[in-house]
Structure 1
Amino acid sequence: MLRQTQQQKLAQKLSPQQIQLMKLLQVPTASLEERIKDELESNPALDVGSDNEHDPYGLNEQEKGADNQSEDERDQNGDDDFESIDVSDYLRDENDMQGDYHLNEGHDDDDEPKSIPVKVETTFTDYLNNQLGMLELDERRQEIAEQIIGSIDDDGYLRRDAMSIADDLAFNRNIATDEEEVGGLIKLIQDFDPPGIAAQDLRECLLLQLHRLKDQNAAVKTATIVLTDYFDEFTRKHYEKIKQRLKINEEQFREAIGVILKLTPKPGGAFSSSDKVGGYIIPDFFVFNNNGTLELTLNARNAPELRISEGYREMLKTYDAGQKKNKSQREALVFIKQKIDAAKWFIDAIKQRQHTLLVTMNAIMEYQKEFFLSGDEGSLRPMILKDIADQINMDISTVSRVANSKYVQTEYGTFLLKFFFSEAIVNESGEEVSTREVKRILTELIEEEDKRKPISDERLMELLAEKGYNVARRTVAKYREQLEIPVARLRKQA
């Protein structure tokens, strides 16, 4: 039996402009110039330059009342849409425009060049997302896969388990999924380049690379068995034991080890220099200590000022002056309007990008003020993405996009923004301290150890406890691995 029912549903979708802004937020300064260059080449209505003189058309400002219909919708409406174009919307005085952002906010050096030649590379996340776009996934699975890619560390490892990622999706994106579905998508992403991507540990990373080798000869097969069944013995250098178990001679074993040594322990390492030019990092922000007052500026060298092309302004003015328009003229008017709309959307997205970057970095600077004043890592406060998102009233994903692959230059060095984020632990006094402080002490303890008798993780746990930091042995091991410090037996020196 058919029945008609009424249902209320709440849904949130991003507009094309919002999607464009989200993508621009992820782009570091070193790559922004290339992104703008691509837009200039694809849209003739966009031009480089600044409108210092009075602009009666107001085309270089964000048009709040512009028609937001898509190109497809206009095509479907046919000739009726030609008549509905109100060119006067584009002839408003610039003084009527509201909500403009300053593209070069914080930069008052007029003599500084607006752009410099840079070596532009695709970011690691972009590289993986481009491969994701080649899979035929529905919108829901696409979002889950994007969350997985966003959880991959710079070195190429996925250190969050499937259940944790499922929890993140439920909390941040309101997507209900389970460990099995997330695990299946992880397997798909592990087939991406570079080989070894999205592994949870070194063993899995190396095995993924071995499985991708075209020549599965005897040495490769032996290497696979070594990593699969004798990984602990391999890391402890118990080579004789492995040879006896596998019943192979010295030459066969050397060939297998040779295969393993050619593998990449950090598959994401090739992309770690994406924000560097000629070996130097291009900072996105500058923080100066002016007699105890912190000053923040945004690096706008690779973000030239943009405006609407003078030629398109003149064309719009000419078509508006005509009394009666034939079909070709009306089609030309629609084309001009669409290109100007796209140019204005891009200009506003660039301005909003700069504004969002400044607001986010300013919140980070204020939150970690003691560090920016002293340079002492011990003064870093525990800080997670949600702390900054709440402070600036933005989504956690927005803060994450800003923090990813962005650098800030201080008088104490240049730091990746991720450096300032860390979880908290509670010391014996009941105070919250940053895990970075614990890692610093852990590093000092290992540097001062007797290399003939390296300190075990168990002993490191006890030493940390003596200093007031109660952490579990497995946590000590995790921090040590994150610091890329080998286990005690591998640190031993004669």
Structure 2
Amino acid sequence: MQKLSLQQKLLQKLSPQQIQVIKLLEIPTMQLEQRIKKELEENPVLDMDNDNSEYQEEEYDNDLKSNEDKDNDEFSVDDYLNDEDYPSYKYTTQNYSKDDKFTEIPFSSGSSFHEYVEQQLSEVYLSEHELVLAEQIIGNIDEDGYLRRDLESIMDDLAFMQNVTTDEFELLRILRVIQEFDPPGVGARNLRECLRLQVERKDLSKPEIQLASRILRDTFDEFTRKHYDKITRKFGVSEDELKRAIDEILKLNPKPGSSFSNTINRTNQSIIPDFILELMDGELQLSLNQRNVPDLHINGHYANMLKAYQENRKNLSRQDKDTVMFMKQKLDSAKWFIDAIRQRQQTLLLVMNEIIDYQKEYFMEGDETKMRPMILKDIADRTGLDISTVSRVSNSKYIQTHFGIFPLKYFFSESMQKDTGEEVSTREIKQILKECIEGEDKRKPLTDQALAEILKQKSYPIARRTVAKYREQMDIPVARMRKEL
């Protein structure tokens, strides 16, 4: 016999509008432009600012007020075109700037890294068969310029996918041809080969270049581990001679492909700030960077169409009624989207204003030591928002200040207590740690334990393992790897 039971559960479900707001909160300004463009393309009811369209919408809105509909219908046009439903959402945004303070939307041009390498195939003589092999090899070179796939696998790919027969010897010969291309080091299978390819293009008559080549060929492991004493003993050279050779190696590019890509797409690396913070007459003024984000409204043409349908709805055919319902759906979507954009801007400004207020002393001067410990919960408590909402606002967003452009996550840090009982930001400790490392004797770099002792003397009771954690977070290598001659 089946047993029936009654359970009461409390569930929270998000509406489509709430989900839309959440998604819009996560994206930065540049992606917002693309999102609005996509919505404009998909929803004909949604429109950008246009004097004629705005006039039609306002005219139609007034007409509705003077000719109130007394009949009871499924929906009212007032639900979509009433000014109260569409309050201005510009607030303190700056859609258009009279000066040059905003970063331009980046535009990149030029060929890609792989296209650049392939273009050089025309400069060497290869048979049709060899050209197929070369194109297959280049296709397996990654964006850093390395050939990560082994020749045996490439040989199998050619056999199965293109029915081309070859062997590793022939592939290696073609690879050697590609390794003569620019940028120097392209087609290398590991870091050692990459650096050797670059050294071999230098003037090998110079003693320091000769020694650099020998180091990469015979003592690469010792070089990467900075066991310089072993290298000097092996080659019978002085520290000065070794230093000159190592200086030549350090000039080489460990990622030749990335270097090329960054050069041709430099403008594509621009950061578009989501917020603009200015210091004017001793006061901080915050605004949203909305230069390329259009103001949205409902298209007046569709408003007039809906008005005509409503006035004549008793005589509508089935097809006409379907058209009205389609327009209603699009009007709903347009209304939700405009409202979501407005809520996004309100939330962004609310959160950023509280961050600035919390870190006001820092934002006034840009002095990192003035930054207070701050976690997501601090801002959530001040704004009344959920921690997840503050996290979404802070993620992938940037602010342009009078002392630089920073990601919002930069302003969040944990706290610790000094010997004096004062609470300080971990960012302050990292800054002091960084200064200690920058000022160390590079011939005898400070160990993590030595750094911990220095911090302790400065009233920061930090354990050695914590020093190691902070050092790794700042991408600073261990003492042995910081050693210089």
TM-score by length of 1: 0.62
In structure 2, relative to structure 1, the CA distance for the partners of 1:477 and 1:314 (3 Å cut) is: same
In the other structure, the counterpart of 1:29 is: 29
2:348 aligned to 354, 357, 374, which one? 357
Q: Spell out, residue by residue over 1:404-458, the C-alpha distance to the aligned partner (whole angstroms, 9 max, x if none).
A: 1111111111111111000111111111110100010001101111111111011
Answer yes or no: is 1:475 the counterpart of 2:478: no
- What amino acid is the match of 1:102? Y
2:94 aligned to 83, 97, 107, which one? 107
In the other structure, the counterpart of 2:276 is: 286
Structure 2 CA distance for aligned equivalents of residues 236 and 345 of structure 1: 59
Answer yes or no: is 1:306 the counterpart of 2:289: no
Structure 2 CA distance for aligned equivalents of residues 411 and 348 of structure 1: 32
Structure 2 CA distance for aligned equivalents of residues 97 and 117 of structure 1: 32
More displaced 10-residue stretch of structure 1: 85-94 or 392-401: 85-94
Q: Spell out, residue by residue over 1:57-79, the C-alpha distance to the aligned partner (whole angstroms, 9 max, x if none).
A: 669xxxxxxxxxxxxxxxxxxxx
- What amino acid is the match of 1:103? K
Q: CA deviation at 1:111?
A: 5.4
- What amino acid is the match of 1:442? L
SS across alignment from 1:409: strand
Structure 1 CA distance for aligned equivalents of residues 386 and 361 of structure 2: 26
Q: Spell out, residue by residue over 1:99-134, the C-alpha distance to the aligned partner (whole angstroms, 9 max, x if none).
A: x352252438675799965459xxxxxxxxxxxxxx
Q: CA deviation at 1:485?
A: 1.3
In the other structure, the counterpart of 1:76 is: none
In structure 2, relative to structure 1, the CA distance for the partners of 1:20 and 1:118 (3 Å cut) is: farther
In the other structure, the counterpart of 2:47 is: 47
In the other structure, the counterpart of 1:490 is: 481
Contact kept, 8 Å, 1:104 with 1:300, in 2: the verdict is no
2:452 aligned to 427, 439, 461, which one? 461
In the other structure, the counterpart of 1:367 is: 358
Paired residues for 1:172-321 under 5 Å: 236=225, 278-321=268-311
Structure 1 CA distance for aligned equivalents of residues 370 and 80 of structure 2: 54
SS across alignment from 1:87: coil
Answer yes or no: is 1:447 the counterpart of 2:450: no
In structure 2, relative to structure 1, the CA distance for the partners of 1:117 and 1:458 (3 Å cut) is: closer
Q: CA deviation at 1:262?
A: 7.3
2:79 aligned to 60, 81, 90, which one? 90
Structure 2 CA distance for aligned equivalents of residues 309 and 456 of structure 1: 67
TM-score by length of 2: 0.63
Contact kept, 8 Å, 2:103 with 2:272, in 1: the verdict is no
Contact kept, 8 Å, 2:416 with 2:424, in 1: the verdict is yes
In structure 2, relative to structure 1, the CA distance for the partners of 1:480 and 1:367 (3 Å cut) is: same
Contact kept, 8 Å, 2:96 with 2:291, in 1: the verdict is no
Structure 2 CA distance for aligned equivalents of residues 402 and 233 of structure 1: 47
Q: Any stretches of 5+ residues in structure 1 without a counterpart?
A: 60-82, 121-194, 196-208, 224-231, 242-260
- What amino acid is the match of 1:105? T
Structure 2 CA distance for aligned equivalents of residues 20 and 333 of structure 1: 24
Structure 2 CA distance for aligned equivalents of residues 104 and 115 of structure 1: 21
In the other structure, the counterpart of 1:20 is: 20
- What amino acid is the match of 1:475? T
In structure 2, relative to structure 1, the CA distance for the partners of 1:210 and 1:472 (3 Å cut) is: farther
Q: CA deviation at 1:84?
A: 5.8
Number of aligned residues: 353
Structure 2 CA distance for aligned equivalents of residues 57 and 386 of structure 1: 47
In the other structure, the counterpart of 1:383 is: 374
Contact kept, 8 Å, 1:33 with 1:303, in 2: the verdict is yes
Q: CA deviation at 1:18?
A: 1.3
Structure 2 CA distance for aligned equivalents of residues 448 and 91 of structure 1: 65
Q: Spell out, residue by residue over 1:282-317, the C-alpha distance to the aligned partner (whole angstroms, 9 max, x if none).
A: 111111223332211111112110011122111101
Tell me how large the CA RMSD over aligned residues is: 4.1
SS across alignment from 1:295: strand
Contact kept, 8 Å, 1:57 with 1:91, in 2: the verdict is no
In the other structure, the counterpart of 2:396 is: 405
What percent of counterpart residues are identical? Answer: 49
Q: CA deviation at 1:8?
A: 1.1
Q: CA deviation at 1:49?
A: 0.7
Q: Spell out, residue by residue over 1:336-390, the C-alpha distance to the aligned partner (whole angstroms, 9 max, x if none).
A: 0001111111111111111111001001000100001111100000001111111
Structure number with greater Rg is 2
In structure 2, relative to structure 1, the CA distance for the partners of 1:402 and 1:13 (3 Å cut) is: same
- What amino acid is the match of 1:374? E
- What amino acid is the match of 2:58? D
Q: CA deviation at 1:239?
A: 12
SS across alignment from 1:415: strand
SS across alignment from 1:55: helix
Structure 1 CA distance for aligned equivalents of residues 463 and 435 of structure 2: 18
Structure 1 CA distance for aligned equivalents of residues 8 and 59 of structure 2: 45
In the other structure, the counterpart of 2:120 is: none
Q: CA deviation at 1:4?
A: 3.0
Paired residues for 1:137-148 under 5 Å: none
Q: Spell out, residue by residue over 1:3-35, the C-alpha distance to the aligned partner (whole angstroms, 9 max, x if none).
A: 332211111122111111111112111222111
Question: Which protein is richer in helix relative to its size?
Answer: 2
In structure 2, relative to structure 1, the CA distance for the partners of 1:358 and 1:488 (3 Å cut) is: same
Q: Spell out, residue by residue over 1:71-94, the C-alpha distance to the aligned partner (whole angstroms, 9 max, x if none).
A: xxxxxxxxxxxx962234437642
Structure 1 CA distance for aligned equivalents of residues 360 and 226 of structure 2: 46
Structure 2 CA distance for aligned equivalents of residues 297 and 337 of structure 1: 35
- What amino acid is the match of 2:341? I
Q: Any stretches of 5+ residues in structure 2 without a counterpart?
A: 63-71, 109-141, 143-147, 157-167, 169-187, 193-220, 231-252
In the other structure, the counterpart of 2:387 is: 396
- What amino acid is the match of 2:374? M
Structure 2 CA distance for aligned equivalents of residues 263 and 279 of structure 1: 17
Structure 1 CA distance for aligned equivalents of residues 228 and 302 of structure 2: 73
In the other structure, the counterpart of 2:419 is: 428
Contact kept, 8 Å, 2:21 with 2:341, in 1: the verdict is yes
Q: CA deviation at 1:279?
A: 4.2
Contact kept, 8 Å, 1:360 with 1:392, in 2: the verdict is yes
Structure 1 CA distance for aligned equivalents of residues 153 and 426 of structure 2: 43
Q: CA deviation at 1:480?
A: 0.9
Structure 2 CA distance for aligned equivalents of residues 234 and 393 of structure 1: 55
